[in-house]
Amino acid sequence: MDRGGHAGRDHASPLPVSEFEADTALEAVEGGFAGEITARWNVGGNPNGGYLMALAARAMLAASRRADPLSVTAHYVTAPVPGPVIVRTETARAGRRYSTVAATVAQDGHQRLRVLGALGELDRMQGPTRLAGSPPRIPPPEECVPLLQASERSGSWVPEVMNRYDLRLAPDDLWIDSGAPGVVDEAPLTVTGWIRFADGTEPSTLSLLAFSDAFPPTVLNALDVGWVPTVELTVHVRGRPAPGWVLGTFRTRFLVDGLLEEDGELWGEDGRLLALARQLALVLPRR
Amino acid sequence: MDRGGHAGRDHASPLPVSEFEADTALEAVEGGFAGEITARWNVGGNPNGGYLMALAARAMLAASRRADPLSVTAHYVTAPVPGPVIVRTETARAGRRYSTVAATVAQDGHQRLRVLGALGELDRMQGPTRLAGSPPRIPPPEECVPLLQASERSGSWVPEVMNRYDLRLAPDDLWIDSGAPGVVDEAPLTVTGWIRFADGTEPSTLSLLAFSDAFPPTVLNALDVGWVPTVELTVHVRGRPAPGWVLGTFRTRFLVDGLLEEDGELWGEDGRLLALARQLALVLPRR
């Protein structure tokens, strides 16, 4: 499905530099991989958790010489700051089908996140296939509402990370049109829309980790909250994305004493499942 | 709801020794916690992954002086054998609301599993509550089918771990009454039933980790498979269980090239959510 090229691709000289590639680039150094956390992926003062997971997973793929993250879990320890970062990896298992790698992301001796992952090659997995689910039906990207446009209209604050994505939300997502957040008791909170990188970078299995934490928190649909910090994020990558848009749908069913799960699915434009994601997050009041 | 006492509780002298408590017991030693993996939780030659996660989480709770696992992820590295085990822990974060702890479970220098967890106190969490889900409706335990009885009837093999649980499956779960596994295309594979420890041990938040991996694999409903080894298991503990039965429901929607997710929910008899679990597993053919 051709939904039109990205501006960055239409003028291909000089070769555009991918923000995602640049900001997750790593160099093998003594004791790990060195990179740089940039402020371009910030939400308020803190780098987005999906971006950080992708950075760590890039090191884990390099350390294990694998192509795809299969399952990655990140626990967020302390808030990173823009600047140099070291990712230390330990390959606990190097099996035929997959490798198991632990990673620690640190700045100046301070642990930022701890990560565990299974990494392999999705195109070499063999076994039965049986599907009992399909992507949600929403209008095509050109009929959805760009997040930046919706936010400008409502006067709400736009985190810096939102400039990295072209994110278009399904028009019937409550929170876009209501100045005051709606409350729908007993219905799951959902956020659904299309996502791609704003600079035209095509999606990879690594970028699915970032996409898994790029949508606005579902809970903004229902509650006047301050911050929704992720305690833990796990992403199962189930398919390699084709070029183009990725469809994301996120759902929260259980908010209990300020703790919630957010369940995400990422789908390709071709209807293939790309990833399942789940995070545990805290709901903190406005300060 | 009183569903009748357990035999072990009716004859309380001498004090019954809990199998779960005994087989996850740990002693602080130089460099970690020492325990013993027993064969009582085996599936074939390998200890059940939920049991192993509970063992690791007990060490993580002790190391961080926390009461409840909030989110725990285990990656299974190599198959443990019955015998001594060492759990090494590292507390990466000791925050007000929760601690983040990494653990390595090893035997004789061989890593068996790697674990990351957030641990805290569920009764001290504060914030809004909003629920959009409820437990599945199935008959009460006395009208469900004990797994052991169903297996004896069908002549199927019963793993040793099944003697640790009183597990009663909803009567309309396909695989109980069909000698040949049924196939229902396009419908999710599900397994639902009641669980408690066979020896009368009442459930704790720690035991929810074991319960999350105690039901028969959903995929047995549809396919003639050999083994369904867990690559990664994550459990979010969302409530402390009251004494009595725990209701578990597990669902698989996406089996792709031999990789599947299994999504679980654990509920109390009182209708409270206790845990959400998800694992990524491989489907391997019979040898």
pLDDT at B16: 66
Q: Which amino acid is at B255?
A: L
Query: Structural domain boundaries of chain B?
Result: 14-122, 143-282
Cβ separation A276–B276 shorter than 8 A: no
pTM comes to 0.92
> Rounded mean pLDDT of A104-132?
96
**CATH topology for A144-282?**
Porin (2.40.160)
Are the C-beta atoms of B206 and B23 separated by less than 8 Å? Answer: no
Task: Indicate whether B4 pLDDT > 70.
Answer: no
**A220 secondary structure, DSSP code:** G
Per-residue pLDDT band at A250 (split at 50, 70, 90): very high
Q: How close is the nearest chain A Cα to the Cα of B93, in Å?
A: 6
Domain B14-122 has CATH 2.40.160.210: yes
- This model of the complex carries an ipTM of 0.92
CA closest to A76 among chain B residues? B100
Q: Is the omega angle on the peptide bond into residue A14 within 30 degrees of 0, that is, cis? A: yes
| Residue A23 CA, distance from chain mean position | 14
CA closest to A225 among chain B residues? B128
A181's tokens: 């957040």
Chain-wide mean pLDDT for chain A?
A: 90
> What are the strands, taking DSSP E only, across chain A?
27-29, 32-37, 42-43, 46-47, 68-76, 83-94, 98-107, 110-120, 130-131, 145-146, 165-169, 189-197, 230-237, 246-252, 254-256, 259-268, 273-282
Largest CA distance in chain A: 54
Cβ separation B257–A102 shorter than 8 A: no
Q: How close is the nearest chain B Cα to the Cα of A246, in Å?
A: 18
- For residue B273, count CB atoms less than 10 angstroms from its CB and return exposed for 0-12, middle for 13-18, buried for 19 or more: buried
Q: What angle do CA B87, B93, B98 make, to 5 degrees?
A: 95
Q: How close is the nearest chain A Cα to the Cα of B16, in Å?
A: 35
Q: Which residues contact B147 (CB under 8 A, 6 or more apart)?
A: B158, B162, B165, B167, B168, B169, B193, B216
Q: How close is the nearest chain A Cα to the Cα of B201, in Å?
A: 26
Q: What angle do CA B89, B91, B96 make, to 5 degrees?
A: 145
Query: Which run of H or E residues covers position A156?
Result: none
Are the C-beta atoms of A286 and A226 separated by less than 8 Å? Answer: yes
pLDDT at B30: 93
Q: What residues of chain A lie within 8 A of the CB of B129, using their CB?
A: 255-257
Which has the minimum average pLDDT: A70-84, A224-238, B46-60, B229-243?
Answer: A224-238
CB pairs under 8 A between A and B: 190
pLDDT at A2: 39
- pLDDT: is B38 or B150 the higher one? B38
Task: Indicate whether B14 pLDDT > 80.
Answer: no
pLDDT at B174: 52
Are the C-beta atoms of A207 and A197 separated by less than 8 Å? Answer: yes
Q: How far apart are CA B214 and CA A132, in angstroms?
A: 23
Q: How many CB atoms lie within 10 A of CB B1?
A: 10
Cβ separation A232–B77 shorter than 8 A: no
Q: Do domains A13-121 and A144-282 have the same CATH topology?
A: yes
> Rounded mean pLDDT of A89-115?
97
CA closest to B286 among chain A residues? A127
pLDDT tens per residue, range B55-79: 999 999 999 999 999 999 999 999 9
Q: What residues of chain A lie within 8 A of the CB of B116, using their CB?
A: 73, 75, 114-116, 232
Q: What residues of chain B lie within 8 A of the CB of A92, using their CB?
A: 75, 77, 111, 114
Report, in angstroms and rounded to the nearest whole number, the Rg of chain A calculated over CA atoms.
18
pLDDT at A174: 52
> Rounded mean pLDDT of B252-259?
96
CA closest to B70 among chain A residues? A280
pLDDT at B181: 46
Per-residue pLDDT band at A182 (split at 50, 70, 90): very low
Coil vs helix vs strand at B30: coil
> Rounded mean pLDDT of B161-166?
95
Chain-wide mean pLDDT for chain B?
A: 90
Q: How close is the nearest chain A Cα to the Cα of B63, in Å?
A: 16
pLDDT tens per residue, range A40-96: 999 988 999 999 999 999 999 999 999 999 999 999 999 999 999 999 999 999 999
- Selecting from A234, A254, A283 the residue whose C-beta is nearest the C-beta of B234 gives A234
**B201 secondary structure, DSSP code:** P
Task: Classify domain A13-121 by CATH architecture.
Answer: Beta Barrel (2.40)
Cβ separation A284–B127 shorter than 8 A: yes
Per-residue pLDDT band at A171 (split at 50, 70, 90): confident
pLDDT tens per residue, range A185-199: 567 889 999 999 999
pLDDT at A53: 98
Cβ separation B70–A259 shorter than 8 A: yes
pLDDT tens per residue, range B210-223: 999 999 999 887 77
**B95 secondary structure, DSSP code:** -
Q: What residues of chain B lie within 8 A of the CB of A132, using their CB?
A: 185-189, 252-254
Q: How many CB atoms lie within 10 A of CB B44?
A: 11
CA closest to A94 among chain B residues? B77
Per-residue pLDDT band at B197 (split at 50, 70, 90): very high
Query: Which run of H or E residues covers position A58?
Result: helix A49-64
A15's tokens: 């070769």
CATH of region B143-282, choose from 3.40.350.10, 3.40.50.12500, 2.40.160.210, 3.20.20.70? 2.40.160.210
